[in-house]
Amino acid sequence: MIVILFTGGTISMRHDPAAGGAVPALSGREILDATRGIERVARVEAEDWGAFPGPHMTIERMWALRNRIAEHLARAGVSGVVVTHGTDSMEESAYLVSRSLATPKPVVFTGAMRAASDLGWDGPANLLDAVRVAATGEAAPYGSLVVMSGRVFAGIDVTKAHTHMLDAFESPGVGPVAVIDDGVVIFRRALPPQSAPLMPVEPATPVDLVYAAAGTDARLLDASRETARGVVVAAMGRGNVPPAMVPGIERWVSDGKPVVIVSRAQRGRVGPTYGYPGGARRLIEAGALLAPGRRPTQARLDLMLALGSGMDLPGIRQLFEG
């Protein structure tokens, strides 16, 4: 049996004239009724877990969803879980599950780019595909997955790369792990070995995310340092920041709080290539940590999990740089 957790998102929305746009309106049952043929793929059980637009998903809600997924996966008769989710934060929930759950059963996220009142509502087709993926034994080694527009992405590397197109999701540089062709799930690549999941009682918050841009200074870093437990800096290129940001990073390090450097670029890794003021090599020497293969939101979630697990700075460094 496949459990489907309905959490909201565009897949559950209709245009509301009073609101002037799409808002949550459909129950899980109504979405299932529109998904013709699902009963021929697998036996399903539905749960209306929430009705949240993607931007309304907080870290606390994501963690509660993660825990509910774990409860269902622990049931003997459940072979997988499908989660309908708002696409704006879907990649973060999928990554959080990938990094914090160890299970031989698949967790498949899906949603829609068009609301039920739009011509070409893609929700039912995506839900049917997600159940297909969850029902195949080949999905188990991949942990969490995201299924959208006939493509299957690993939760560990997927991102929303377009604001509104049906094929909005990508795994930059590596592509999907599978495609769905005429109802058949065809896996095309394996995942590299993954680090052990981090399973704290709860993630540590707040952890902030500060972007570098031309001429950025230390004001946001200094404001964040007052209350945040850690910070991720989305740097330029290979992990470089404007010189005016460096004093702010140094103040974070002096306070004994972790500063994690990633790139704002969609593809590639950060590394100690540049030695000029603000270059990644100088940031390492100042005590910042590099997270070579992570995007900004991924590093933020990993830092929350690490701090929540009680890791010290050497442990966090090993997590990100190991």
10 is catalytic: yes
Work out the angle at residue 236's Cα, subtended by the Cα atoms of residues 309 and 208, and round it to the nearest 5 degrees. 35
* CA 93 to mean position of chain CA atoms: 5
Q: Catalytic residue among 7, 10, 84, 159, which?
A: 10
Q: Which residues touch 317 (CB under 8 Å, ≥6 apart)?
A: 289
Peptide bond into 206 cis (omega under 30): yes
| C-alpha to C-alpha distance for 124 and 229, rounded to whole angstroms | 41
Does residue 231 contact residue 208 with C-beta atoms inside 8 Å? yes
E strands, 37-192, where? 44-52, 80-84, 107-110, 144-148, 151-154, 159-160, 169-170, 178-181, 184-187
- Sort strands 2-8 and 80-84 into parallel, antiparallel or unpaired: parallel
- Sort strands 259-263 and 230-235 into parallel, antiparallel or unpaired: parallel
Nearest to 261 by CA among 279, 243, 247: 279
Catalytic residues: 10
